[in-house]
Amino acid sequence: MDRQNLILIGFMGAGKTSVGEQLAAHRHRTLIDTDRMIEDITGRTVAEIFQQQGEAAFRRLEGMVLKELAAKAQGEIVSVGGGLPLWEDNKQLLKALGKVIYLRVRPETVIRRLQGDRTRPLLQGNDVEEKVERLMTFRGPVYESLADCVIDADEKTVMQIGQQIEREMKRDEEELL
Ligand code: S3P
């Protein structure tokens, strides 16, 4: 069932939230962001949840909010945390939720954009380059396998990416007519 939700997936720093906000504004909607949902529910930041309860607890919360969305989201723009699409249950739910757009970026783009970032627990400490490379090697094919549409986002502005997605959506709608 296609409920015309648009879901942005991709690695940390790919621009899911910025692009999602742009798309949502264009449609007079508010972006639904799974990290923000979790922070609102728990009253804690993602970093605090990782630190105080561990990654597994955060992943359970992700599964919970995704189920909630799958039960009721319609016509929404949704951006999901970079790790959410990796779990089997989540994959099914994402596919059922709507059109999945993968914002693909190269490791060097992530490293440049997230330099000095303290909000992503998985990219703290030493060897950030190696962490990004390792996670991306594993995650890239998963994101690709889920995507209805892949957008190379390294050299593009948020506006350009938003417009490209709008064009894709329009093309899809025309094909349905
Ligand atoms: C994570 C990505 C983050 C956040 C958490 C874990 C990941 O979201 O959910 O830090 O595993 O890739 P963004 O992709 O929005 O940075």
pLDDT of 96-141, one tens digit each? 999 999 999 999 999 999 999 999 999 999 999 999 999 999 999 9
- Percent of the chain having pLDDT more than 90? 92
> What is the model's pTM?
0.96
Measured in Å, residue 26 CA sits from the centre of ligand 1 at: 25
Q: How far is CA 154 from CA 23, 50, 70, 73, 104, in A?
A: 18, 28, 30, 29, 7
C-beta 81 within 6 A of ligand 1:
yes
Q: Kindly report the number of other CB atoms within 10 A of residue 159's CB atom.
A: 11
Pocket test for ligand 1, best of 35, 94, 104, 123 (most atoms within 8 A of CB): 35
- Tell me: the pLDDT tens digits for 150-161? 999 999 999 999
Q: Residue 1: pLDDT above 50?
A: no
Mean pLDDT of 74-89: 97
Average per-residue pLDDT for the chain:
95
C-beta 20 within 6 A of ligand 1:
no
**pLDDT at site 3:** 55
C-beta 46 within 6 A of ligand 1:
yes
Query: Which tokens go with 45?
Result: 């930041």
